[in-house]
Structure 1
Amino acid sequence: MSGLPKTGGRKKIQMKKIESGRERAVTLTKRHNGLFKKAHELATLCGVQIAVICFSLSGKPLSFGSPNVPFIINKFLNTNQVEQQPNDSITRFINSYHESELQVLNRKLDELKEELAKETKKGQILQERLRDSLGCNNYEEYIKSLGVEELKELKYKLEELKRNAECELDDISGGSTSANGDHEADLSKIGAPKDYLKM
């Protein structure tokens, strides 16, 4: 139907070096986490030995290896030699423990990403509601857009709201309220000194 507005959808990223250094760093962070996760899944599902190594823009090494990066490098460099993977039970237990811990951390990372996406969505919805109700992006913009009479009316409503809240607080606590709106406690009931009560 030609009358419907076209949505942007997912745009194909052109495969060329990103010009902005900040965007390159963000993309590297996102992509290398995904790459390491896929490498771990491949190692777990297919039982293969795998290593991924890259360096950040600042030169910091980033790596993932199963069972570990040094072993994979040694095996790659010595392909004609007999495989020297450690077979003792302690090493196998440590490797198994590390893999299980990595799986747990990956699950937690996925959960945190889901929570972040939910909270981001909530923030967008609240921002839209605020924009719809006030006609502005935030409360400060709304205040600046008001005229003198509107500000007076808003001040009156806030003071009335404050009075109502104080009355409700009195009803709940059963305490008394002084002329200036401060709440006074009955000090005689808590054994306060008589001199203090006369003040």
Structure 2
Amino acid sequence: MNQLGHLKQFRSSVPRKRSMGRRKIEMKTIDKEPARLVTFAKRRVGLFNKANELSTLCGAEVVILLFSESGKVYSFGHPNVNSILDKFLVQNFLPEENVPKIMEESVQGTKNSQVVKHEIMTELLSKVGVEKKRGKALDQQREEETLLGGEWWQGPIEDLDLPKLNHLMLSIHGFIELAMAKANMLTLGTKNGCK
């Protein structure tokens, strides 16, 4: 018998250790810190790989920002993070007069651009907080008005007092903003070739 034959015979006589294979992971926070760190690192790489595949297959521009427990930031972007973030901020949140300034700073790649982005994100987060509070107040007001007998907005507009007119105008503006955001999202999805 040659060496290869002995090796095959030896392998067949040694019992194989069975692995646990792939199994479903329960979605909850991992308690043990070392295991949590390893899982974060592996899944971060997997997430970035999937984003890369999405951009390659669909021609989509992709950006991912991850903040670890320790506060470290990991990012992935195709073609690059800064260009996509600038595009997103310009299209969705920045007033027209700020567009040339932000684009110029982005091209220069200075730290000032990062500071401006941070300021914009901070401002946006504060606006989101204000809007959430306003939404809760409007929900409460709507509940109270329903209990008092009515959907006042269904009546003639001439019967509305100033607070109700203001409320109606805010609601209409909110609806228009939501419709525009949805239209933008659908337009971007169509441009990128993905649904």
TM-score band w.r.t. shorter chain: 0.3 to 0.5
TM-score using structure 2 length: 0.36
Structure number with the bigger relative contact order (C-alpha 8 A, sep ≥ 6) is 2
The structure whose Rg is larger is 1
TM-score using structure 1 length: 0.36
